[in-house]
Amino acid sequence: MVCAAIFVNASCDKTITPQEDPAPLTPAAADANAGNWQMIVMSGPTEFPVAAPAATTDPAYLAELSSIQSSQSAITSTQSTSIQYWSSGAVVRWNEILRELVARADLPPAPLPNGTYPAPDPANPFADPNYPFSNPPYAARAYSYISVAEYDALKAAWYYKYQYNRPSPAKVDSSIQALMPITDLPSYPSEDGVLSGVNTVLMELLFPTSVQEITEKAAEERQAAMLSGKASASDIAAGLALGQAVATLFVARAATDGMKNATGTTAQWQAIATAVAASGQIPWHTLEIPPRPPMLPFFSQVKAWMLTPTDIIQERPGPPPSTSSDQMKEELAEVKSAVDNVTREQAATVYKWNDGANSVTPPGHWNAIAAPYINAAQFSEVRTARAFALLNMAMLDAAVACWDAKYTYYNPRPSQLDPSIKTIIALPNFPSYTSGHSTFSAAASEVLSYLFPADESYFEAQRDEAAMSRLYGGIHYPSDIQVGKDHGKRIGDYTVRFAQQDGAD
Amino acid sequence: MSRRLIIAIAGTFLFCTSIYAQTIDDGLMIPKHTLFTGDIYTHDSWSQYWEGTLKRTNGNLGTVTTQTNTWSANYGVTNHLDIIALTPYVWTNASQGVLKGQGGLQDFTLAAKYNLIDAPFTNYGRLRIIGVVSGILPLTNYTPDFQPLSLGLGSKSLSGRGTVFFQAPRGWFINGSAAYTWRSNVKLDRPYYYTNGQLYLSDEVAMPNVFNYVVSGGYLKHGWMFPILFSQQRTLGGGDIRRQDMPFISNRMNYSKLSAMAMFPLPKLHGLMLQVMYGHILDGRNVGYSSTITTGLLYTFHLERHRSKI
């Protein structure tokens, strides 16, 4: 009967595995020359010198090996699980962890009883509202800082690895088991040390309320590297020191990259509205109740990775259709028709690409799309870091450029011009033109198509689906989507041009 | 008693109301070859809700109203076995903000209700013990990922229920009923979600099981019934709605609810019953602070000329 069928279904194991389960990493190529690939922020691979390691015959090093041996003989099941987890590649794992931190912090402040909204305070991150509110621009910046810092630090690590050529403990001493795939990649300084150092410093800066979890994850990574026979204590210590040192460069950049002024003041954003009204256009206003300040109106001033401030202005799209034009009327009608007649298949794309509050945000969604391709390609850790760095630089640049357009034109959302337009996802609290999803997705698709040219059509299909979902959801005009896609493609191409000459191809 | 009656309980199963328990959790049986069927309309609304344990309003929702029109049928296969089916059509609406209300067929309920014991109990009345197995199946592929305006939760479920009913000769009765509900996982349209302190890189959501009970007492005689009902639902797992977050299907949705009902035969219209009920949530967690009005018009068909007496 129906009941029996339901019962079978309902009574089976309901457990959901929260993480992806990528294959263990056995890199297709060692990328021995990665120390010479072009840096992004560091001046060169020797900016933070790494001292030569002790010889593999040194008593101190031999003591490290015997410590690994004895640890391996008493390994716990928790430790084995941890080794399994990190064997998929630490860059991919830290990317997963970062997506989780972004989703956790992606909640807007709740209104106060007096109808105002408190601002998250970096000096008091645990207060309500928590700091940060990891909205799409904030998240784009966070993904890019961590990815680029990992990438620069790993290039420096690769430089020293091949300068000193100290093998992994499991390669030096045959009595040490290789509990995860271990290659001939020199282990000093340890890439796991580097990544744990970079991530503790930068994640704690960007997501301070998760400090305890980050610290524990980093320690777990270092322990897994040691227990698995991949790196010795001195390999890890040298890597950790290098990672932490590189991260300080990025902390310094973050302090002066313009993010602090991205919120602006009420007077500043009212001035934008006044100027737009003076030009004969209806300016955007929030549709939230009580009225919420616009999201990061001066994010356009944040320092991009591949574009100068002049480039951002030069790439700025032309204006949207005038709010009084026939074209705008037609587009409004198109939005209304799209959302009122949405099919189940179209609605599925709307929810797939919602990426609203409590989400990894659109940049995180594209990281999730990239991760299985990167894993399948079995890139070395440094090449994996390059892939995420290129992707996330392009998306930060897309965020800056898109926010520049949004707050230049201050264009109203469809539901503002026609209150009968109701949406099937929450309406983002910032101007309409151009579509952030379209811009992010086009930039990401350009970079991923460069990295994985055989799958270009898939990435472009995802881009188009993401872009069109915003029309079906009732939150964007067709112009926002088309112009946003064109804009995002041009922005992404800056990163692709950099990648084509960075020495890695 | 020539006519058996029905207790209807509109269970607030989330933010959206479902007529979950119409006739399922009372202590009454339909005679053999009798069909008791009709239409039940429910109007459920709230302007405050619990975000976790914090009671609040939300200017972007205003008042959320869920209307449900349910076709209900209860058939006596034997004097000891009833089959019950419910088909609800749901409309949702938010009075403020830009979010679009939804409308459509929600979840089909099918239940088998078996009278295990029906006997005089001491000198004071009659005791009845009933077991019910019921299943719920979404009728349409609605999205459950648009709470609180989705039509439902999108989960298949199976419930096991036990009911104890005691009636004194003069018509006073008490009833207690408790159910455990197993709920199937739900697939979302998106490849990841964050809930209960964790990011899940999956489109599949584990739905915690649910325990609920209802106790009622009142008067029942000559086709007239006036019970007062107290019900509680406890979701056995799931996360809270975080500060300023949207509700999510696997949230820990708990509530206590008090309801009063009147059901009586319409004069001069043989076989037609009118049912009116009002309920209000007393306390809750991740649910609306809702009030629910239910009206139903139900007709009894005798499909066999000489029905047996029970």
Q: What is the CATH number of the domain that holds B83?
A: 2.40.160.40
Amino acid B305: pLDDT: 58
pLDDT surpassing 90 at residue B223: no
In whole angstroms, give the CA distance from residue A110 to residue A101: 19
* 3-class DSSP string for A99-113: HHHHHHHCCCCCCCC
If asked whether residues A331 and A438 sit together in one domain, one would say yes
Q: Is residue B309 part of a domain?
A: no
pLDDT surpassing 90 at residue A487: yes
If asked whether residues A170 and A265 sit together in one domain, one would say no
Amino acid A333: pLDDT: 98
**Which residue among A255, A288, A303 closes a domain?**
A255
A6–B242 CB contact, under 8 Å: no
pLDDT surpassing 50 at residue B3: no
| Orientation of helix A381-409 relative to helix A478-499, angle to 10° | 140
If asked whether residues A289 and A383 sit together in one domain, one would say yes
In whole angstroms, give the CA distance from residue B52 to residue A133: 20
pLDDT (tens digit, 9 = 90+) per residue, A272-315?
A: 999 999 999 999 999 999 999 999 999 999 999 999 999 999 99
**Which residue among A220, A255, A290 closes a domain?**
A255
Within a 10 A sphere around the Cβ of A198, how many other Cβ atoms?
32
**Which residue among A240, A255, A270 closes a domain?**
A255
If asked whether residues A232 and A299 sit together in one domain, one would say no
Amino acid A11: pLDDT: 45
Q: Is residue B133 part of a domain?
A: yes
If asked whether residues A358 and A432 sit together in one domain, one would say yes
If asked whether residues A421 and A301 sit together in one domain, one would say yes
**Mean pLDDT of all residues in chain A?**
96
If asked whether residues A278 and A215 sit together in one domain, one would say no
**Using an 8 Å Cβ cutoff, are A281 and A272 in contact?**
no
| ipTM of the complex in this document | 0.94
Q: B223: alpha, beta or left, given left = phi > 0 and alpha = psi -120 to 50?
A: left
Angle, CA of A322, A324 and A325, to the nearest 5°: 65
What distance lies between CA B138 and its chain's CA centroid?
A: 15
If asked whether residues A239 and A296 sit together in one domain, one would say no
Q: Is residue A85 part of a domain?
A: yes
Give the model's confidence band at B303: pLDDT under 50 very low, under 70 low, under 90 confident, else very high.
Answer: confident
3-state secondary structure of A331: helix
Domain that holds residue B41: 11-302
| Segment A208-232 mean pLDDT | 97
pLDDT surpassing 60 at residue B16: no
Amino acid A13: pLDDT: 64
Amino acid A257: pLDDT: 98
Amino acid B121: pLDDT: 83
A426–B246 CB contact, under 8 Å: yes
Q: Is residue A450 part of a domain?
A: yes
| Segment B302-306 mean pLDDT | 70
Element (H, E) at B270: none
**Using an 8 Å Cβ cutoff, are A72 and A177 in contact?**
yes
Nearest Cα residue to B104 out of B92, B112, B115, B96: B92
pLDDT surpassing 90 at residue B208: yes
Nearest chain A Cα distance for residue B50, angstroms: 14
Q: Is residue B308 part of a domain?
A: no
- B74 forms bridges with which residues in the sheet? B36, B84
If asked whether residues A248 and A331 sit together in one domain, one would say no
In whole angstroms, give the CA distance from residue B111 to residue B72: 11
If asked whether residues A109 and A129 sit together in one domain, one would say yes
B245–A357 CB contact, under 8 Å: yes
- B280 forms bridges with which residues in the sheet? B258, B291
Q: How many domains does chain A have?
A: 2
If you search the block for the tokens 């040192």, which residue do you land on?
A245
Amino acid B122: pLDDT: 78
- Report the sign of the C-alpha dihedral through residues A86, A88, A91, A92, in that order: negative
pLDDT (tens digit, 9 = 90+) per residue, A47-66?
A: 999 999 999 999 999 999 99
Which CATH number does the domain housing residue A215 bear? 1.20.144
What tokens does A318 get? Answer: 């032309």
pLDDT surpassing 70 at residue A4: no
Q: Is residue A395 part of a domain?
A: yes
pLDDT (tens digit, 9 = 90+) per residue, B41-75?
A: 999 999 999 999 999 999 999 999 999 999 999 99
**Strand B272-285 relative to strand B204-205, pairing:** unpaired
The reply to whether B204 touches chain A by the CB within 8 Å rule is yes
Sort out which chain A residues have CB atoms less than 8 A from B246's CB and list them.
Answer: 357-358, 426
> What DSSP letter does each residue of B126-143 carry, written as one string?
EEEEEEEEEEEEESS---
Q: Is residue B261 part of a domain?
A: yes
- A182 forms bridges with which residues in the sheet? none
If asked whether residues A271 and A127 sit together in one domain, one would say no
**Using an 8 Å Cβ cutoff, are B289 and B12 in contact?**
no
Q: Is residue B62 part of a domain?
A: yes
pLDDT surpassing 90 at residue B270: no
Q: Is residue B292 part of a domain?
A: yes
Amino acid A14: pLDDT: 73
Report the percent of chain A where pLDDT is more than 70: 97
If asked whether residues A281 and A305 sit together in one domain, one would say yes
Within a 10 A sphere around the Cβ of A99, how many other Cβ atoms?
25
pLDDT (tens digit, 9 = 90+) per residue, B147-167?
A: 999 999 999 999 999 999 999
pLDDT (tens digit, 9 = 90+) per residue, A115-150?
A: 999 999 999 999 999 999 999 999 999 999 999 999
The reply to whether B96 touches chain A by the CB within 8 Å rule is yes
Q: Which of 235-274 (B) contact A at CB < 8 A?
A: 242-246
Q: Is residue A168 part of a domain?
A: yes
Report the percent of chain B where pLDDT is more than 90: 84
pLDDT surpassing 70 at residue B20: no
In whole angstroms, give the CA distance from residue A353 to residue A360: 11
A360–B185 CB contact, under 8 Å: no
| Segment A450-459 mean pLDDT | 98
The nearest alpha carbon in chain A to B112 belongs to A3
Q: Is residue A63 part of a domain?
A: no
pLDDT surpassing 50 at residue B32: yes
Nearest chain B Cα distance for residue A54, angstroms: 42
The reply to whether B275 touches chain A by the CB within 8 Å rule is no
Helix and strand counts by DSSP (H, E) for chain B: 0, 21
If you search the block for the tokens 């000559």, which residue do you land on?
B222
Q: How many domains does chain B have?
A: 1
Q: Is residue A3 part of a domain?
A: no
**Using an 8 Å Cβ cutoff, are A139 and A363 in contact?**
yes
Amino acid B308: pLDDT: 44
Amino acid A410: pLDDT: 98
Q: Is residue A196 part of a domain?
A: yes
- Identity of the amino acid at A364: G
Compare CB distances from A415 to B98, B101, B199 and report the shortest one's residue: B98
Which CATH number does the domain housing residue A343 bear? 1.10.606.20
In whole angstroms, give the CA distance from residue A47 to residue A242: 10
pLDDT (tens digit, 9 = 90+) per residue, A167-201?
A: 999 999 999 999 999 999 999 999 999 999 999 99
pLDDT surpassing 60 at residue B306: no
pLDDT surpassing 80 at residue B12: no
Domain that holds residue A211: 29-40+76-255
Amino acid B18: pLDDT: 34
Q: Is residue B5 part of a domain?
A: no
| Segment A346-362 mean pLDDT | 98
Q: Is residue A52 part of a domain?
A: no
In whole angstroms, give the CA distance from residue B207 to residue B205: 6
